[in-house]
Chains A and B, each alone.
Chain A
Amino acid sequence: MSQRLIVGPFNRVEGDLEVQLDIADGRVTQARVNATMYRGFEQMLAGRAPLDALVIVPRICGICSVSQSVAAARAIADASGVTVPPNGVHTINLMLACENLADHLSHFYLFFMPDFARPVYAQRPWFAEATRRFAALAGEHARAAVAARQRWFEIMGTLGGKWPHTLSIQPGGSARAVEAAERIRLLAKVREFRAFLETTTFGAPLEEIAALDSEAALQRWHAADPLRGDLRLFLTLAADLKLETLGRGPGRTLSFGAYRQPDGSHALADGVWNESLGRVQPVDTGAIREDATHAWLAGDEALHPSEGLTAPMLDKPGGYTWNKAPRLSGEVVETGAIARQLASGQPLIRDAVARCGANVYTRVLARLVELARVLPMTEQWLTALAPREPFFHADRLPADADGVGLTEAARGALGHWVSVRHGRIERYQIVAPTSWNFSPRDASGTPGALEAALEGAPVQPGEDTPVAVQHIVRSFDPCMVCTVH
């Protein structure tokens, strides 16, 4: 028996999302993803003073606000040619890491794990423990995580004035210099967050997690104390529910590289991981195209973002979402923490993906490994600050210039392309992480990453909002407000 199901609204994703499912014999046969809200940031930016972008783009998204600021500042810096002093590089990385790690924490404790406290799992052996730790608005560890997140974001209060929507991230660096005494207080805040992660999330030192180099090592670590720390509980229920069989990705992942260093390298390297080749290929941003065939947007031809167009066209035949379909060399790619861990060669994630691909289990695992890897980096960046050396270099933007700003948001690769003419923004195009992951079909009819990942998902009799579909959707940590922008 076949049926069609319209699923939504999804909560515990950022923004509004609808998924249309065709179901036959208890499995999803086809999925269409609809990003249901349009605001038109690319249209708003045209005609503005270039630096107005620093006010406007963070407000695309309340959860990836700093990432949007970093991309805009880099695009304008690329256009002006200004270089950022090392102190500016480090403080901007600290702000970006503060946001990205907080997003990973929110995703795990507030968005993803509460679904395992649903009555459908009441008979599973781990259910009572999962409910105690993760139940929505009640779980003990979820509540502790909100408190830890609030304290962690005080780093943004100092460095960025507030979160979200700071203006301290400038093309020439940071508008907020850090004094020596402030650094001591910031280091104390990092250690406080480390203590939460080591006690509650991992039940182990971060370095021990980051050093896990294979799934065999992970299994040994898990078996030694199966309920200690929330990563181990996740591994327990992931194995029981076979989460590795849900939500298979397209086999290619994209990272623009995270936390650029003063020497131009990235703390987490960029790259396209190709599962079938088993290796990393370089990122060719010239091969990015956005296809609007199935979006309620004008344009028949797939365009590079530097030439991109955004114009609503509500009654477009074939349209079913406000999101365009980005493609890399014509292919669907997935982006996110898993892409960063694969591109940067983290051995555990490479081993797990080699065995079972990108899926619900490996996506969540990659986020937690990233938390353990990046937090120690923030300690190094704070230590590397040189108080009383410059944090900012002044620049002058030419009246006519073009720039590209690439970065990694928590959810993956984010790019801004800006063209300035006669001192005003002429064109501004944004390709956000969830634009990649939740893209509609392209001109050739190829479904986007989530659309394909949903195919084959089990639907239990009587389910109107299938729980497996919810796990798959949330495993990508979607941000719908960024997707369409």
Chain B
Amino acid sequence: MNVLWLQSGGCGGCSMSLLCADTADFPAMLKSGGIDLLWHPSLSLASGRELVALLEDCRDGRTRLDVLCIEGSLLRGPNGTGRFHVLAGTGVPMIDWVSALAAVATHVVAVGSCAAWGGITATGPNITDACGLQYDGDRPGGLLGADFVARGGLPVINVAGCPTHPGWVVDTLMALAAKLFVADDLDPLNRPRFYADQLVHHGCTRNEYYEFKASAEKPSDLGCMMENMGCKGTQAHADCNTRLWNGEGSCTRGGYACISCTEPGFQDPGHAFHQTPKLAGIPIGLPTDMPKAWFVALASLSKSATPKRVKSNATADHVVVAPAVRKTRLK
């Protein structure tokens, strides 16, 4: 399966993340999965004219393009010209290269939230008129249009995340190579369901603090970060706390809030990232699928039932009260 990987309006972090894939031999892993990298900006030898010739061969059908991976948002500005990113050595705006190549690719994969929705590059005034391949924030459309379907029959596959997890990319490409990826494997935002059908909250090591609403008040505190620190882990679709990052990591395990980076529009939450917006003392963003009244009732009950251990540890950077040692064998 021939894979061509191009970068535009992003930071290259999804490629750097990809190289952290959990394997003892990265090129061998790709090869054994049936993945042939036609070209990747960090990994391939070809430069300059050699690459331009390859792009032309793909565009004109001389080289089969099975998967087009795009990393970074698509810069439509200024005034629709695409001149905020002209592909070096070609004089042609990157958006034109991407449109031409997407038209001939069997599958098109948006690697990361920039390519999926516009991402961080589209924040605030969106000076560069950045968008995703098939979304403009949470609105279908983007560079290729809401009706785009790649030759293989699927819309753009949005492997969203900022950066995206190396496992999400590798699993997607391997499933495509094995012809085991079908329309039903995509969620309503066209993200692979194998990671998007879960919440960051699942497997969070702070779950006991969440249960008792024992909350962190400042960075480095151990408590739940939902009430004060802006954490969106109960709403964000991703398996970050069950499929860990760089060994044993995740944002919440690293001591900071989930900013919901797999969701369209995460870059403009409408409040400071590090603070939870509240109405009458209650966080506005409540857990997915949970009625507000129940949340409020459970929260007030659990707060009043919080063990001293959990309460004390929530606002410390290490465990100050260890679980009590009791005989449990005879119970």
> Looking across the interface, which residue of chain B has its beta carbon closest to that of A465?
B48
A179 contacts B by Cβ under 8 Å: yes
A49 touches B75 (CB 8 A): no
Which of A17, A65, A156, A157 has the most chain B CB within a 10 Å cutoff? Answer: A157
Instruction: Report B-chain residues with C-beta under 8 Å of the C-beta of A10.
Output: 47-48, 88
Known: A11-B44, A62-B12, A173-B220. A162 touches B256 (CB 8 A): no
- Of residues 101 through 130 on chain A, the ones whose CB sits less than 8 Å from some CB of chain B are 106, 110-111, 114-115, 117-118
B27 contacts A by Cβ under 8 Å: yes
A34 touches B88 (CB 8 A): yes
Stretch at the interface among B141-149, B190-198, B246-254: B246-254
* Docked complex Cα distance between A452 and B15 (Å): 31
* Docked complex Cα distance between A162 and B218 (Å): 20
- Of residues 176 through 220 on chain B, the ones whose CB sits less than 8 Å from some CB of chain A are 218-220
Chain B interface size band reads 35 or more
Smallest CB–CB gap between B164 and chain A, Å?
Answer: 11
> Looking across the interface, which residue of chain B has its beta carbon closest to that of A56?
B120
Known: A18-B88, A37-B94, A146-B25. 4 other contacts (CB 8 A): A55-B273, A163-B246, A167-B256, A465-B50
- Of residues 174 through 220 on chain A, the ones whose CB sits less than 8 Å from some CB of chain B are 174-177, 179
* Docked complex Cα distance between A154 and B14 (Å): 17
Known: A38-B128, A118-B45, A392-B220. A143 touches B25 (CB 8 A): yes
Known: A9-B48, A17-B88, A61-B12. A150 touches B23 (CB 8 A): yes
Contact with B along A158-177 (1 / 0, CB 8 A): 11111111111010111111
Instruction: Report A-chain residues with C-beta under 8 Å of the C-beta of B22.
Output: 150
* Docked complex Cα distance between A114 and B41 (Å): 13
* Docked complex Cα distance between A179 and B254 (Å): 13
* Docked complex Cα distance between A153 and B50 (Å): 33
Instruction: Report A-chain residues with C-beta under 8 Å of the C-beta of B15.
Output: 62
B78 touches A465 (CB 8 A): no
Instruction: Report A-chain residues with C-beta under 8 Å of the C-beta of B162.
Output: 59, 165
B233 contacts A by Cβ under 8 Å: no
Smallest CB–CB gap between A16 and chain B, Å?
Answer: 5
Known: A36-B85, A392-B317, A464-B48. A12 touches B26 (CB 8 A): no
Instruction: Report B-chain residues with C-beta under 8 Å of the C-beta of A172.
Output: 219
Instruction: Report A-chain residues with C-beta under 8 Å of the C-beta of B254.
Output: 159-162, 166-168, 175-176
A11 touches B46 (CB 8 A): yes
B21 contacts A by Cβ under 8 Å: yes
B25 touches A48 (CB 8 A): no
A9 touches B89 (CB 8 A): yes
> Looking across the interface, which residue of chain A has its beta carbon closest to that of B217?
A394
Among A39, A135, A161, point to the contact of B251 (Cβ < 8 A).
A161
